[in-house]
Amino acid sequence: MASDNRCGYLAITGRPNVGKSTLLNRAIGQKLAITSHKPQTTRHRILGIKTLPRGQIVYVDTPGIHKRLDNAMNRYLNRTAKGVLSDVNAILFVVEALRWTEEDAAVLESVVRARVPVILAINKVDQLHRKDDLLPFMAEMSARYDFQAIVPVSATKGTQLEQLEKAVLDALPHGENLFPDEQITDRPERFFAAELVREQLTRRYGKELPYALSVEIEAFEAKGNLYRISAIIWVERPGQKAIIIGKDGASLKEAGREARIQMERLFQCKVFLKLWVKVKKSWSNDEAALLRLGYGE
Q: How far is CA 25 from the centre of its chain?
A: 9
Contact predicate 16/39, CB 8 Å? yes
Give the span between the Cα atoms of 291 and 286, in whole angstroms.
9
Q: Which of 39-43, 75-79, 291-295 has the highest mean pLDDT?
A: 291-295
In this prediction the pTM is 0.78
Widest distance between CA atoms in the chain: 63
Domains of the chain: 6-171 (3.40.50.300), 189-292 (3.30.300.20)
**pLDDT tens readout for residues 185-216:** 988 889 889 989 988 988 888 677 656 788 89
Identify the band that residue 74 occupies on the pLDDT scale cut at 50, 70 and 90: low
Structure confidence at residue 295 (pLDDT): 66
**pLDDT tens readout for residues 176-192:** 999 999 999 988 889 88
